[in-house]
Structures are given as C-alpha cells and as structure tokens.
Amino acid sequence: MSDVREDGPESENTADVTPPEGHASAEDGDATLEADPDPMNDDGVERPLHETLLSDPPVPSHRRPESRWAYPLWGILLVSIFVAYQTSTLLVWNTPSKGLAKTFHKEFLDGVYGYKYFNAARLNQSWAMFAPNPNRTNTFVRVFVEDQEGELWDYRQDIWGIDRYPYLWYDRGGKINRRINGKKHYQRIYGAWVCRDWERNHEGEPAKSVTFVRRYTKVPHWNVVIKQGGWDQWKAPFKQKEQETITCKTTVHAQLPERLYDRYGIEMDEDDEKRFRPVKQRTWWDKAEAERKKDERKAKQEAKRAEWEARREARKAKAKTPGNNVGAAARQDELDARGPIRRPAHPAVGQDEEDAAAAAEEDEVDQ
C-alpha cells in the first residue's frame, strides 16, 4: 500500500522555499518590500522594458492621494456654476415665450444674456412651428425647365397634389423643396443639378434655363375648418410668384463633365468638352500669390514714377543753366491771343533728342 501524503500546514512534505530577491517572506509579517531592482544587466546594458515589467518583483508604491477630489475646488465651483447656468437657461428657453410666461421668459433671458449666449453657441431653436401659433401657410416650389426650343417643362420636384400620408418611406423631398424657397444660393445649386439631370436624361442635349416658382396656400382658422367639416388643401385657392432663374450654360457645375459622359455612355463632341464650368477655388496660397503680384506691380509703378521725377528735375536744372534758354524763347513765340499752346512732340529749337523724348513722356503723364 503506497503512502499517501496530505498537503497541509503540518505536512512533512513542505519544503523550505526562500522568497525571491525583492520579496518579503511570510514570516516577516509587515516587512516592507525592497527598493527598485537595478535596471541594468550584468553586461552594463539597460534591460528591455518587457523584461523589467514581466520578470522583476513587484515594487511598493507609497503614493497616496492628497485629497478626495480629483480636481481643485475652484475648478469644481466653476463647472458647477456653468452647468447650473446652462440648465436654467435651457429650461427657460424652451418654455413658451407667449401667454402667461411671456414676461418671465423675456426678463430672465435678458437678465442672464440668454439670447446672446444661445446665438453665439448656436443653440437657438424656435418651436413656433408647433405652438402656440403654428405656421398657416403651405409652400411648394415648382421647378420648370426650358429646353433649347423654348418649351417649358414641369420637372415635378414638388409634392403638390400628391397625398403621401400614410407612407412607408420618406425621402425628405418635400422638406428640401420647402428649404430652397426664397434662397437664391440654394436654388443655384439645386438648379445646377436639374440642368445636369436633364442633360443626362436627354442624350447630352443641355437645357436652356431652370426657373423656380413658389406656389402657396393659406390654411384657414380652426373655427372655419370645424364649420366646413374639414379642409382640402389641394382644392384651396393658391398664389404663385416667380423666383430665381438660372442659365444652364453659364452656371457653374450645371453641365455634365466628361467623366459622366463616359459613365452614362453618351457621345461627346468637342463643344461638349469645353462647356463644363468648374468652381473656381481660391486657397490661401492663391490669395497670397495674388497679393504678392499686386505688391510687385505697385513697386514697379512707384519705381517708374520716381525715375520720371528724377528725369524731370534734371531737365529743369538743365533748363536753368545759362545758354540753354533758346527753347524757352521759342515757346514764348508760340503764345498768341488764344493763350498758351501745347508744344509739339518734335524737338524744339535748341533742344536735343533726349529733351524732346522727356517732354513727350511728361505730356503722356499729364494726360
């Protein structure tokens, strides 16, 4: 029968185990760990990081937090004040600005500069479309395309007369259509897309222009709707107003580029290659180069002006020299009843060719 030895605190099989260097034995009780091991090996080369992290014994840390707070007191107070200000201003901003709370709403936001803060932080939001006075106008923007023959085509970009409720999918086409109402910069971009789409669907034949027309109806008061037993917006009287008109030939990105001709398999001639008008992008480098060239032109003009002034002064000094007044006498002979007459460009009596050229240049500057 083989001997079975049990492991336990009094087992005779327990071997004497010497704790590794840097560790305290269990018999030492509260003995502290030794200092950090030497980071250098026997050859005097620094040991790699993975070896020191995985093989070295644990090192005690005597660092203890000096405070129970992670941030200083002034930082906690500052953040708390900001959170309180943001929360209170946001709550008051979202309360109705009309009715019983109108006075409190205005006085509070004026006192804490809530309007300026929300406008600067881009947090302003209006709930007027829901309550208490929702919008009572239905707006639709119609898009018309004029082809090369001068005929107008309704491009059917609005949802007039289309009952889309209830619906399973919403492409936000109606929201985009209302968004471009009265905004010229949006209508130019949208119209450029309409020009490209028309050209793509007509075998490369471009449209002539795109026109936006606003159609709108008035929603009657709820008392009128109740008395009538309902209201059909498609049968209500409407008004129309013409807005922006863009030309497909001159508007940027209103023509199909060459790569889209290849993608859609449309034949392209030489005129089509020259029709595309890209967006002119001016980077900071382009602006800096334009300023540098402007300064160079200005410096050249100033240098030319200074040179002309120097020649003029030299000519005046030469004219004051004794023996050089023949030209002045000749100019005096030109005076008659009409007054001074402009001297001709050819050399006068007693003047050499250099003086004549300088006089002619002076006449050009005076003009």
So what's the pLDDT on residue 363?
A: 58
So what's the pLDDT on residue 181?
A: 92
Q: Are 130 and 97 in contact (CB under 8 A)?
A: no
Scored b (16 or more CB within 10 A) or e, 327-354 reads: beeeeeeeeeeeeeeebeeebbeebeee
Of the listed ranges 21-30, 236-245, 331-340, 346-355, the one predicted with least confidence: 21-30
Q: How far apart are CA 112 and CA 117, in angstroms?
A: 9
So what's the pLDDT on residue 57?
A: 77
Q: Which two tokens stand for residue 232?
A: 């059909």
**Highest mean pLDDT: which of 164-173, 203-212, 257-266?**
203-212
pLDDT grade for 343, boundaries at 50, 70 and 90: low
Number of domains in the chain: 3
Q: Between residues 334 and 197, which one has the greater pLDDT?
A: 197
pLDDT grade for 141, boundaries at 50, 70 and 90: very high
In single-letter form, the type of residue at position 216 comes to: Y
3-state secondary structure 327-349: HHHHHHHCCECCECCCCCCCCCC
- Give a yes or no: residue 4 inside a domain: no
Rounded to 5°, angle at Cα 263 from 259 and 268: 65
So what's the pLDDT on residue 59?
A: 72
pLDDT tens for each residue of 33-49 = 444 566 676 677 777 87
Beta strands, E only, the chain:
137-146, 152-154, 209-218, 238-247
Same domain (yes/no): 213, 332:
no
Q: How far apart are CA 242 and CA 259, in angstroms?
A: 34
Same domain (yes/no): 271, 296:
no
3-state secondary structure of 287: helix
- Give a yes or no: residue 229 inside a domain: yes
Q: Is the pLDDT of residue 276 over 80?
A: yes
Residue with tokens 């009309």: 98
Q: Are strands 152-154 and 137-146 parallel, antiparallel or unpaired?
A: antiparallel
Same domain (yes/no): 184, 270:
yes
So what's the pLDDT on residue 77?
A: 94
- Give a yes or no: residue 126 inside a domain: no
Q: Between residues 239 and 280, which one has the greater pLDDT?
A: 239
So what's the pLDDT on residue 1?
A: 43
Average pLDDT over residues 119-132: 76
So what's the pLDDT on residue 140?
A: 92
So what's the pLDDT on residue 246?
A: 93
Average pLDDT over residues 100-106: 85
**Domain range enclosing 112:** 73-120
Q: Between residues 271 and 23, which one has the greater pLDDT?
A: 271
Same domain (yes/no): 219, 188:
yes
- Give a yes or no: residue 114 inside a domain: yes
Q: How far is CA 183 from CA 77, 87, 136, 180, 301, in A?
A: 46, 35, 20, 5, 44
CB atoms within 10 A of CB 123: 13
Same domain (yes/no): 254, 291:
no
Q: Is the pLDDT of residue 90 over 80?
A: yes
Q: Are 204 and 261 in contact (CB under 8 A)?
A: yes
Rounded to 5°, angle at Cα 164 from 240 and 234: 35
3-state secondary structure of 360: helix
3-state secondary structure of 223: helix
Q: How far apart are CA 21 and CA 57, in angstroms?
A: 8
Q: How far apart are CA 141 and CA 244, in angstroms?
A: 11
Residue with tokens 């185990």: 17
Same domain (yes/no): 151, 96:
no
Average pLDDT over residues 286-307: 92
Q: Are 214 and 141 in contact (CB under 8 A)?
A: yes
Average pLDDT over residues 204-230: 90
- Give a yes or no: residue 217 inside a domain: yes
- Give a yes or no: residue 352 inside a domain: yes
Domain end, chosen from 219, 248, 275, is at 275
Q: Which two tokens stand for residue 204?
A: 């490369």
Which alpha helices (H) appear in 112-249, and where do they start and end?
Answer: 114-120, 173-179, 184-201, 222-228
Same domain (yes/no): 182, 158:
yes
Of the listed ranges 169-183, 184-198, 330-344, the one predicted with least confidence: 330-344
Q: Is the pLDDT of residue 263 over 70?
A: yes
Alpha-carbon torsion angle 161, 167, 172, 178, nearest 10: 30
Q: Is the pLDDT of residue 270 over 90?
A: no
**How does the average pLDDT of the chain come out, rounded?**
77
So what's the pLDDT on residue 358?
A: 60
pTM above 0.85, yes or no: no
Same domain (yes/no): 215, 93:
no
- Give a yes or no: residue 91 inside a domain: yes
Q: Which two tokens stand for residue 327?
A: 């030209």
The residues, any chain, with a CB within 8 Å of residue 152's CB and separated by 6 or more, are 144, 145, 146, 211
Domain end, chosen from 275, 300, 321, is at 275
Same domain (yes/no): 293, 358:
yes
So what's the pLDDT on residue 130?
A: 72
Same domain (yes/no): 269, 312:
no
Q: How far apart are CA 331 and CA 325, in angstroms?
A: 10
Same domain (yes/no): 203, 319:
no
Q: Are 212 and 191 in contact (CB under 8 A)?
A: yes
Among 164, 219, 214, which Cα is nearest to 184's?
Answer: 214
Report the percentage of the chain scoring pLDDT > 70. Answer: 70
Same domain (yes/no): 103, 195:
no
- Give a yes or no: residue 125 inside a domain: no
Domain end, chosen from 224, 248, 275, is at 275
3-state secondary structure of 32: coil
